[in-house]
Amino acid sequence: MCGIFAYMGAKVATPILVEGLRRLEYRGYDSAGIAVKDESFTVYKKIGKVAELQSILPDNVPGNVGIAHTRWATHGVVSDENAHPHASVSGDVIIVHNGIIENSRTLRTLLEKKGISLSSETDSETIAHILDYELSRDNNPTAAMHRTVSKLHGTWGICAIFQNHDVMVCARNGSPLIIGKGDNEMFISSDPHALTTHTQRVVFMEDGDIATLTSDSISMSPLNGINKEANITVLEDEWGEAELGDFPHFMLKEIFEQPDALRHCISGRLDRVRGNGRLGGLKLSPLELSKLPHVRLLGCGTARNAAEIGQILIESLARVPAVAHISSEFRTNDPVIDPQALHFAVSQSGETADTLSAVKEIQIKGGQVHGIVNVVGSTIARQCGQGVYIHSGPEQAVASTKAFSNMVAALAMFAIQVGRSRSISKERGQKLIQGLQQIPHLIEEYLENQGPIMEAVNAVKNAKSVLFLGRGISAPVAKEGALKLMEVAYIPCLAYPAGEMKHGPIALLEEGSPVIFIAPNDHVKQKTVSAIHECRARGAKIILIHEKGDSISEEGDINIEVPNVHSDLSPILTVVPLQLIAYHTALELDCDVDRPRNLAKSVTVE
Ligand code: AGP
């Protein structure tokens, strides 16, 4: 969704801003813009990609201070006028804003009554005019920002620069902003990922913070009036390259990175001798683990699918009741929270607004939440204050792949760890740990010999709809396969537990309808075979994901085999062909595989 990047220092700002925007591109956006301050402001805005903005920039734009933005339209159509930055009428103040100003209609009316005519349809532009008006009262940019945000309802990450003041003022409420401190230079970003090429020293702004920056100073003056120090965090190096390298797309690169991503996720967290997991971030004693009344997992999209697998593993291995929730529904349903229970917030970005609000709901009601998060220092990770980083490295394709496998691996380690304190024998634990250790290699083995993926692509690419079916632990894998194909190739996809198919989805089947079955060699496989027969009897074309050497292959029209795998861990492997089918189908249909239409990588609005 929207992204902010800003710079002040001694260097020419424009190339730094453009590069910053490029690093935010993966989040999804529809227009981009920059404003640079020299003797006066110059503003460039353009719908489309950052490359299109770049194409309208003159060769040398002078100025060492600037703000930049990628916009994902909420208020107002996608247009150059609605793109950020937005200037005040006097031209003395320029802002970029992430979030939603809920009372913008009222503010617009008030501004119009004062004779200010707004030049865009956005909620954000109101901030520039109010800030300018407030500045005219006492010529103090920090105080003006305080008075401005006190008039706003909603969420904001705001970054403002001023014609007559050599400071940048930032404000945060519900929309992330991170300050990067260099040597006599400052960077601001809504995403830590865009800062790490410049500096590892960052300040995570909290809700209610207002920060006034010069190139060598940060002064924090939160809305609550209690001034505080800017706490500098030194970001650890994450593994992984943010560049494409030899791959044509990030999605493919990230599919192929799964073995290494998993190695980073499990490294140092497996105790082979004791057959146990060793998740350091869990702030729970073995005694507390042994007494857990239940576990609840929260997530959206892919994270929710991984959470469903976590639910199954926690129940089956740890024998603790568990349930996975859709974050966006959680708070709405006024859930009862047991303070003794364990809650997990599962999120790649750590910024998903629906999951964040579920976390806050649990905390308000006295519950504890642990994060299962990829992006270090993200809002959800900090809000939880405890949990497990999954260490997938930067994931830039909108369609999540390597984060899914690492979320499942992290939840499997948790299930083993709790299971060992309750019901699992050392021997069973050792087999599971061994299974986890083998998975990266098994994915490599599969990627070297992917099977008839293109045959499957040909079967689905022109289909009216595609049905994905799996049973037990493969039911959430079916959901993940359907989500992937739908989001990158825009084909209507339906996922069901295989046994539920006969209660409704079977009505869709006609001659040649593609049905993708996920059927690893586990205790529910025979039941899945029955569902295959029912589909075949209605003329369906069966695309079957199964384990190597399994006689179930006789049941498929197109058979894609994966190496043999521990049955509790099969989702990490069976999901890979589904990711590849989605990727190649999107290419066949000429879709923008890394940035599918209408989607954003971080969904920061509820
Ligand atoms: C996954 O392919 C999707 N792009 C989407 O469903 C995503 O998983 C969801 O928005 C949750 O994101 P998060 O993991 O960053 O919280």
Does residue 413 have a pLDDT over 90? yes
> Residue 262: enclosing H or E segment and its boundaries?
helix 258-266
Atom 6, ligand 1: which residue's CA is nearest? 301
pLDDT-derived band of residue 407, with 50, 70 and 90 as boundaries? very high
406 lines ligand 1 (CB under 6 A): no
Atom of ligand 1 nearest to the CA of 600: 4
Which residue puts its alpha carbon closest to atom 16 of ligand 1?
A: 347
> Coil, strand, or helix at residue 42?
strand
User: Using a 6 Å cutoff on CB, does residue 168 contact ligand 1?
Assistant: no
Q: Give the pair of three-digit tokens for residue 189.
A: 């970003």
Kindly indicate whether the domain formed by 250-446 is annotated with CATH number 3.90.950.20. no
Task: For residues 45 and 70, give the distance between their C-alpha atoms in angstroms, rounded to a whole number.
Answer: 10
Classify strands 165-173 and 156-162 as parallel, antiparallel or unpaired.
antiparallel
Taking the CA of residue 380 as reference, the ligand 1 atom at the shortest distance is 16
The pick from 493, 603, 604 for probing ligand 1's pocket by mutation, whose C-beta has the most ligand atoms within 8 angstroms, reads 603
Render pLDDT for 253-282 as a digit per residue (tens, 0 to 9): 999 999 999 999 999 999 999 999 999 888
Atom 9 of ligand 1, residue of closest alpha carbon: 301
- Residue 179 near residue 205 (C-beta atoms within 8 A): yes
Ligand 1 atom having least distance to the Cα of 483: 2
604 lines ligand 1 (CB under 6 A): no
For the chain, give the number of residues: 606
Nearest CA to ligand 1 atom 2: 399
Whether 283 shows a pLDDT value over 80: the answer reads no
Sheet with 322-326, strands from edge to edge, namely 322-326, 295-299, 342-347, 368-373, 387-389
| 430, containing H or E segment | helix 426-448
Establish whether 601 is a catalytic residue. yes
What's the gap in Å between 596 CA and the centre of ligand 1?
13
Label residue 239 by pLDDT band (50, 70, 90). Answer: confident
Radius of gyration of the chain (CA): 25
**With bands split at pLDDT 50, 70 and 90, how would you rate the model's confidence at 560?**
very high
336 CA distance to ligand 1 centroid (A)?
26
Using the atom order of ligand 1, give the atom closest to the CA of residue 349. Answer: 15
| For residues 70-92, average pLDDT | 90
**Active-site pick, 2, 170, 493, 591:** 2
pLDDT in tens, 301-332: 999 999 999 999 999 999 999 999 999 999 98
Determine the angle formed by the axes of helices 301-313 and 402-422, rounding to 10 degrees.
20
Locate 590 and state its tokens. Answer: 């000429």
- Tell me how far apart the alpha carbons of residues 514 and 466 are, in angstroms, rounded to a whole number: 6
Examine the pLDDT at 27 and tell me if it is beyond 80. no
Report the CATH architecture of 3-235: 4-Layer Sandwich (3.60)
How much distance in Å is there from the Cα of 600 to the middle of ligand 1?
9
Report the alpha-carbon distance of residue 484 to residue 424 in Å, rounded.
34
Residues of the chain with CATH 3.60.20.10: 3-235
Per-residue confidence (pLDDT) for residue 281, from 0 to 100: 81
The predicted structure's pLDDT at residue 303: 98
- Clarify whether 384 is annotated catalytic: no
Query: What is the mean pLDDT of the segment spanning 205-226?
Result: 93
Q: Is 348 in the pocket of ligand 1 (CB under 6 A)?
A: yes
Mention every residue, 6+ apart, whose C-beta is less than 8 A from residue 59.
none
**Other C-beta atoms within 10 Å of 265: how many?**
27
Q: Rounded CA gap, 119 and 125, in Å?
A: 8
Residue 1 has pLDDT above 80, yes or no: no
What letter represents residue 289's amino acid?
L
Q: For residue 136, which amino acid is it?
A: S
Q: Cis omega (within 30 of 0) on the bond before 563?
A: no
CATH 3.40.50.10490 location in the chain: 250-446, 449-606
Mutation choice for ligand 1 from 297, 300, 347, 401, CB with most ligand atoms inside 8 A: 300
Helix-strand-coil split of the chain, %, nearest 5: 40, 20, 40
| pLDDT at residue 571, as a whole number | 98
373 in contact with ligand 1, CB cutoff 6 A: no
> How far, in Å, CA of 251 to CA of 5, rounded?
24
Nearest atom (ligand 1) to Cα of 599: 4
DSSP string covering 340-402, please? TSEEEEEESSS--HHHHHHHHHHHHTT-EEEEEESSTT-HHHHHH--EEE-------SSS--H
Q: Which of 302, 355, 396, 480 to mutate to test the pocket of ligand 1 (most atoms within 8 A of CB)?
A: 302
Question: What are the tens digits of pLDDT across the range 462-513?
Answer: 999 999 999 999 999 999 999 999 999 999 999 999 999 999 999 999 999 9
The answer to whether the CB of 302 is under 6 A from ligand 1 is: yes
Distance of CA 18 from the midpoint of ligand 1 (Å): 26
Tokens 């501004």 belong to 111
73 band by pLDDT with thresholds 50, 70 and 90: confident
C-alpha 304/C-alpha 42 separation (Å) is 44
Angle CA 283–287–288, to nearest 5: 50
pLDDT (0 to 100) of residue 72: 86
**DSSP reduced 3-state for 50:** helix
Greater model confidence, 473 or 235: 473
- pLDDT tier at 600 (50, 70, 90 boundaries)? confident
Please identify, by atom number, the ligand 1 atom nearest to the C-alpha of residue 399. 2
The answer to whether 343 and 313 have CB atoms below 8 angstroms apart is no
Which atom of ligand 1 is nearest to 603's Cα? Answer: 10
User: Do 106 and 154 form a contact (C-beta atoms < 8 A)?
Assistant: no
In the numeric block, the tokens 């402001």 are attached to 41
Q: Report the 10 Å Cβ neighbour count for 49.
A: 18
pTM (two decimals): 0.86
Q: What is the pLDDT of residue 518?
A: 98
Q: Is pLDDT at 599 greater than 90 in this prediction?
A: no
> Judging by beta carbons within 10 Å of its beta carbon (0-12, 13-18, 19+), is residue 40 exposed, middle or buried?
exposed
Q: Whose CA is nearest to atom 5 of ligand 1?
A: 301
Q: In what order do the strands lie in the sheet with 233-234?
A: 41-47, 31-37, 65-71, 3-8, 186-189, 178-181, 201-204, 233-234
CA of 387 to the centre of ligand 1 (A): 19
- As a whole number, the mean pLDDT across the chain is 94
Buried b (16+ CB within 10 A) or exposed e, 356-367: bbbbebbbeeeb
Determine the Cα–Cα distance for residues 562 and 539; give it in Å rounded to an integer. 26
Structure tokens at 38: 């020299």
The runs of H, that is alpha helices, within 273-343 are 286-290, 301-313, 327-330
Backbone angles phi, psi at 503, to 5 degrees: -90, 10
User: Around 328, how many Cα atoms within 13 Å sit in the side-chain half-sphere?
Assistant: 10
Whether 333 contacts 323, CB under 8 Å: no
CATH 3.40.50.10490 fits 449-606, yes or no: yes
Q: Is the pLDDT of residue 242 over 80?
A: no
Query: Does 401 contact ligand 1 (Cβ within 6 A)?
Result: no
Q: What is the mean pLDDT of residues 440-469?
A: 98
Confidence of residue 406 (pLDDT cuts 50, 70, 90): very high
Catalytic hit among 181, 479, 541, 601: 601
Spacing, Cα 374 to ligand 1 middle (Å)? 12
List residues bridging with 369 in a β-sheet. 343
Using a 6 Å cutoff on CB, does residue 64 contact ligand 1? no
Residue 223 CA to residue 303 CA, distance in Å, equals: 34
CA of 602 to the centre of ligand 1 (A): 7
Would you tell me how many other CB atoms lie within 10 Å of the CB of residue 238?
Answer: 18
Select from 345, 371, 347 the least CA-distant residue to 358.
Answer: 345
Ligand 1 atom closest to the CA of 484, numbered from 1: 2
Structure tokens at 243: 């560049």
Distance 206 CA to ligand 1 centre (A): 23
CA distance 561 to 44: 52
